[in-house]
Amino acid sequence: MRTLVVVAHPDLASSRITARLAEAVSDLAHVTVHELGPACRDGRFDIAREQQLLRDHDRIVWQFPWYWYSVPAVLKAWIDQVLTHGFAYGSGGSALRGKTLQLVTSTGGPEESYATVDPTSHFTMTQLLAPLDATARLIGMRLAEPLVLHGARTVSDEDLAVHAKRYRELLGSPGGAQRRKPPVLASDVGVRF
């Protein structure tokens, strides 16, 4: 399965976690690692190039650190600019339909901070990732089970190596992670854009 890893980090050179994870999969023959930082010039992407990268791959990975309960600004800008009407959704917008979207993220806080048992968080990781799930559903992608590294600020080198190995195995497998239930597409229920 041809896999595009879209790496979104505001300063990958200073990253310990995101850089290590990208490095762990960069030598896989079927994987293309694409850093958004260098691809963004003056806040803009080469939309035709980015869309062609998406067309050329079967599985798309969004790899990013979890910042303030959201994706980094560079990934949000990429989503806004690249996943356009007529390409990713709407009339004729079926370029990504049937492809797999894999989310790979890391949080600074411990796993307990993203569980309903923690009275300070109020939201689970699944709930927080819901906008990305909704995006995948709208554009007809199958969302795989997310791979999340919690406690990234304090993770040991050994635990990071184990997580990197797990990520490599995930992308090295033909089918990737267990897929969630196929999406119900907006077009399937009569919604038009």
Tell the burial category of 11 from Cβ atoms under 10 Å away from its Cβ (0-12, 13-18, 19+): exposed
pLDDT of residue 188: 43
The domains of the chain are located at: 3-184
From the candidate CATH numbers 3.40.50.360, 3.40.50.300, 3.40.1640.10, 3.30.930.10, the one assigned to the domain spanning 3-184: 3.40.50.360
Rounded-to-integer distance, Cα 187 and Cα 183, Å: 11
Over residues 141-162, the mean pLDDT reads: 96
Tokens of 125: 């990781």
Tokens of 101: 């979207």
Tokens of 69: 């309960």
Tell the burial category of 107 from Cβ atoms under 10 Å away from its Cβ (0-12, 13-18, 19+): buried
Residue 179 or residue 114, greater confidence:
114
Is the overall model pTM greater than 0.75, yes or no?
yes
3-class SS of residue 21: helix
